[in-house]
Each structure stands twice: as structure tokens, then as C-alpha cells.
Amino acid sequence: MEDQNELVELDIDNVAHGGVMVARLDGRVVFVADAIPGERVLARIADDSKSSFWRADTVEVLTASPDRRPHVWAAAALERAPELRAGGAEFGHIALERQRSLKSEVLTDALRRFGGITRAVEVEPIGADAAHDSGRVDSGAAGGTRWRTRVRLHVGPGGRVGPYAARSHTVIAVDDLPLATEAIEAEAREVAKTLRGDAQGAAAVEFVETADGELRVSLVPAERSKTGGRGRDGARGAGRNSGRGAAGRDRRGGGGGSSAASGGQARPGDGRGRSGWADDGLADDVPSATRARNDRADSRATGGATAPRASGAPRADAPATIVERVGEREFRLAENGFWQVHRDAARTLSRAVGELTREDLFDPRAANHDLYGGVGLLAAAIGDRFGPATRITSVESDATATDHASENLAEWIGARAVTGRVDRYLAELEKVASSDDRRRLQAATMVIDPPRSGAGKEVVASLIRLDVAQVVYVACDPVAFARDVALFREGGYELDAVRAYDLFPHTHHLETIGVLVKP
Ligand SMILES: C[S@@+](CC[C@H](N)C(=O)[O-])C[C@H]1O[C@@H](n2cnc3c(N)ncnc32)[C@H](O)[C@@H]1O
């Protein structure tokens, strides 16, 4: 029997959820990183502690897939020792089209195993990667790069700034950040130089570039970084010093983590692991010390690259408000607030939600909701699609986001934003709803965009009991989505339209939108 660190030859069978591939060794499942189905690889056993499955890292490709490409990020390539490969681009060695077909297999498999539905769903490219299909010119570079407008890097020993290595918390040095916007990459380079030797007590650095090119940088203090920042689930965490440019600002990521939960049996991880800048860092509660820095004009003057600047004046605790844009519409949000990571994601999701919501089931005067609403992005998409008379309530656990949602939705007189946990909000609604309320809820469209763990039993059960007309479900985890779909099906709903988007190229992540209706 092989041991950890032993080299084995493996034939790669298929893809698992979580960015790893499946091989078998003496009948045991082995989850293999940096491989492609159809390949034969030499792999090093990295974890043999579980009886049901092992993990391994590819060290050499013996028979290459025709879809193998030079890794989009040298820091994550096979040429590096597995423990020094950057995390957060676990599909970067695969042709983009094949990446999408692998994601499609994962979604299709999840729907079949967990949702009881046989339906193949294509994963569609977005932004510049879709431009050749649509004829539309989008921002960002093609080839799945330069889309990440939110990045978290970590500070290691000696003030080394970099991503975590894949599947570990080792901070590794990198020369570039090809998935990040060019401005973030340039800024990260400067910040890394500044912090080298004097990390200023920071454990992480978080970067945001807004739609208007404003760059915000935050230092996350060591004492608070362990509580994380905010992932897709919006969990609160780290405090930080924040400001525009060179050291002081933050945000979350959509891609990320060496997640897993392969098609239902053995699982290579918990699906929310952290790796590299894909670890969704989003911090809160910013104390003091801002570094004022490049604004858009500065960025332009320097071709997007921004020079470092010494720390500026201290600032108040409250995070600054930034502006993001979807088409002509502006969204105000806290600099550390949730916003989609890919520069074209907000637009893609807004459009998809508008298009997929069933018009025949939509009643503008019903008790429509945008659950897990953030700053109101999807409520606005519904308002834009169905007009000024649209009634819609956004429910969001983050009070600052709710305040911003109220502002962002101000043009719809029937729109309001509520701070609360969705499960509690719905439970209360069930308790207090009058018969008129119940009729309005029965006619309602519920947009739900929960964290990676999904809406879960309680929320789905409430929506079923409220007997709502349709649920437009935006999901960043295909397995959690499929599980919730199964619950809806048990409650008499069926999955109507479903589409999926490659919002996180070169990672294993994908976004799915499904509409659930009563047949
Ligand atoms: C995936 S984001 C979606 C936000 C928004 N729909 C968008 O696209 O910008 C999920 C949001 O849910 C919030 N959230 C997480 N758990 C929640 C809960 N149990 N109840 C209410 N909101 C929650 C987070 O703060 C975050 O803003």
C-alpha cells in the first residue's frame, strides 16, 4: 500500500466538485489536483489519512490531454513543487472551453445525484470571454484573465505578501496576478514592496477596483484576520486599515478555496476551504490609518499602475462608500461590502435574473422579495424588468448593506430593504401574515441568492409553506443548489429554466440560476 508522499501513476477518470479530478488506486478514490480527465499522471499522495479517499498532487503528466495548456499563472504551474503552487487558479492549466464543460459536468452530476433531475446545463462564458459569441465588446481581457476586481493577499513571515498556496496557509511569493485587474496587480506589487520588512501588523491585504477605476486597499490586522473577512456568505470578520491605493482596503472573492464535495460520496474537502486570493476575504470594522492614493485620473496617468505612497491621515471607523455600476445604474455600497467579483458578473446576473423571471407568474403588486439581497442588485434587476410599480423587499443580514439597498432602490416607491436573517424573517412572516398578506405572498416572486451553503431546509420549507409563485434561485455552489432543488421538488415545485455562467474563469467555481415553479 502507498504512503503519503509516495509517487503513484494514476489514470484520471472524471472531475469532482471542488477543482480536483477523480482517479482510482486499488479501488480507492483519489482526488488529484492539477490533472485533466483522460490523462495519465505521476502524482504524489498528499493525504492518506481518510479511509474513503485520498488526495494527491500531479507532479508530472505522462499522457497529456489535448486540453492541457501552459498554466495561466506560472506561480500555480506543475513546474513548482505542489506545496508552493499558488491557490485560486486550480483550472488554469485547462483550455477555457474544457474548463466550462467540466463545470457543466459537475452541475449536471449534482442535479442528477442531489436534485433527482436529468438535465445537462451548459456553462456560458461571460464578459470578454463571451464577446466573440455576442459580438459585444466587454471590459477586461479575453482568455479568462484580468476579471478579478476583489483580491485578498496574505502577509507571511518577513512581511512577504502573496496568496496562500493551494490547500494550505503557506504564503507564497508571486510575480504576477493574472486573474486580477491590471491596476490591482500593479498596486499589489507596490504594497508587497512597502510591507516587506515592516508588515505594519497586517496579516492580509485586500484590494478592490470599482467599476470607475477607483482602487481601494486595506490592511487587515493580524489579531483580527483569523476571523476571516467576508466570504460569499457575508460572514463578518477582520478589521483593517483602509484607503485608496497603496495599503488599506478590502473585499471578497467569489472563486476560491479548495472546496469539494464530489458528487455525493467521498469528498475532498468542505467546499469552503481557503486558497490564495480566491479565499473570498472581506473584512469589516476598519480602524484608522488610511493611505490616500490613486484615483481614476492617477491610474490613467500611470497606465493603470499606481505608485506607492506613504500612509496618510487616520480616518474614521466607518468604511467608505464606493460606487459600482451596472449599465447606467449606480449602486452605492461600503468599501468592504459584498459585490460580485468578476468585473462583468453583476451585469450578467442582473440580466439573467431579469430574463429568467417568468413574466406570466410575476405580479408587480405581490409581496416580491430579494432574499440575501446585499445592496439591492437583483431587486433592481427585477424593478428594471417590471417597471416603476414593482413592489419588492430586500432582506439582508448586514445593516450597512441594507442602508445602501434602501438608497439604491429609492426610485421604486414599492421597494424597501430590511435587515435580518432570512430564516428568521420568513419564520416571522409566516407567523404574522394576515390573509391579505398571504395572498400577496402566494403571488410573489422570491429571488434568493444565498451564501455558498445554500438556502437550506428552513428557508426552503418556509417558501414552500408560503406557497410563493416562483423562486429565482442564484447559486454559487452547485451541490448546495441541487440539494435545495430537491427540497423544493418535495414541496411541489419543479425546476423550470436553468442557466449557468463562468463567473470565475480558471477556478472551479460557477454560478447557476434556476427558476422553481409549481407545475
Ligand atoms: C451571495 S451574496 C448576494 C448579494 C446580492 N444578491 C448581490 O448579488 O450583490 C449573499 C448576501 O447574503 C447576506 N447573507 C448571508 N447570510 C445571510 C442570512 N442568513 N440572512 C440574510 N442575509 C444573509 C450576505 O451578507 C450577502 O450580502
- Strand-by-strand arrangement of the 415-419 sheet: 123-124, 494-501, 511-517, 470-475, 445-448, 368-371, 392-396, 415-419
Is 340 labeled as ligand-binding? Answer: yes
Q: In whole angstroms, give the CA distance from residue 279 to residue 290.
A: 24
Q: Which residues have C-beta atoms less than 6 Å from ligand 1?
A: 232-234, 338, 340, 372-374, 377-378, 395-398, 401, 421-422, 449, 451
* Mean residue pLDDT across the chain: 83
Give the pLDDT confidence score for residue 4 in this predicted structure. 67
Is the pLDDT at 256 greater than 50? The verdict is no
Is 425 labeled as ligand-binding? Answer: no
pLDDT in tens, 33-81: 999 999 999 999 999 999 999 999 999 999 999 999 999 999 999 999 9
Max CA separation in the chain (angstroms): 68
Model ipTM value: 0.99
pLDDT in tens, 443-501: 999 999 999 999 999 999 999 999 999 999 999 999 999 999 999 999 999 999 999 99
339 Cα to the center of ligand 1, angstroms: 10
Give the pLDDT confidence score for residue 294 in this predicted structure. 30
Q: How confident is the model at residue 221 (pLDDT cuts 50, 70, 90)?
A: confident
C-alpha cell at 288: 484608522
pLDDT in tens, 113-163: 999 999 999 999 998 888 655 444 445 567 899 999 999 999 999 899 999
Is the pLDDT at 393 greater than 90? The verdict is yes
Query: What residues does 215 pair with on adjacent strands?
Result: 209
What is the residue with the minimal CA distance to atom 6 of ligand 1? 373
Enumerate residues 6+ apart whose C-beta is below 8 A from 47.
Answer: 4, 54, 55
396 Cα to the center of ligand 1, angstroms: 6
Q: How confident is the model at residue 5 (pLDDT cuts 50, 70, 90)?
A: confident
Give the pLDDT confidence score for residue 148 in this predicted structure. 97
Which range among 133-147, 184-198, 380-394 shows the weakest confidence by mean pLDDT? 133-147
Is 372 labeled as ligand-binding? Answer: yes
**Stated length of the chain:** 519
Give the pLDDT confidence score for residue 132 in this predicted structure. 54
C-alpha cell at 240: 483593517
The helix or strand, by DSSP H or E, that contains position 110, with its residue range, turns out to be helix 96-115
Q: In whole angstroms, give the CA distance from residue 278 to residue 509.
A: 10
Enumerate residues 6+ apart whose C-beta is below 8 A from 171.
Answer: 154, 155, 156, 157, 160, 161, 162, 163, 164, 165
Q: Which of 372, 408, 409, 458 to mutate to test the pocket of ligand 1 (most atoms within 8 A of CB)?
A: 372
Domain boundaries, the chain: 7-68, 150-334, 345-517
134 Cα to the center of ligand 1, angstroms: 30
Which range among 63-67, 315-319, 373-377, 389-393 shows the weakest confidence by mean pLDDT? 315-319
The domain defined by 7-68 folds into OB fold (Dihydrolipoamide Acetyltransferase, E2P) (2.40.50)
Task: Give the Cβ contact number of residue 343 at 10 Å.
Answer: 23
Single-letter amino acid code for the residue at 414: G
Single-letter amino acid code for the residue at 3: D
Q: In whole angstroms, give the CA distance from residue 334 to residue 205.
A: 17
Phi, psi of 430 (to 5 degrees): -60, -35
Q: In whole angstroms, give the CA distance from residue 57 to residue 78.
A: 9
Residue among 309, 304, 269 nearest 289 (CA): 309
Distances in whole angstroms, Cα of residue 155 to Cα of each of 163, 192, 491? 8, 9, 48
Give the pLDDT confidence score for residue 3 in this predicted structure. 63
C-alpha cell at 179: 486573474
Classify the phi-psi angles of 80: left when phi > 0, otherwise alpha if psi is within -120 to 50, otherwise beta: beta
What is the residue with the minimal CA distance to atom 8 of ligand 1? 377
CATH of the structural domain 345-517, one choice from 3.40.140.10, 3.40.30.10, 3.40.190.10, 3.40.50.150: 3.40.50.150
Q: What are the residue numbers of the active site?
A: 476
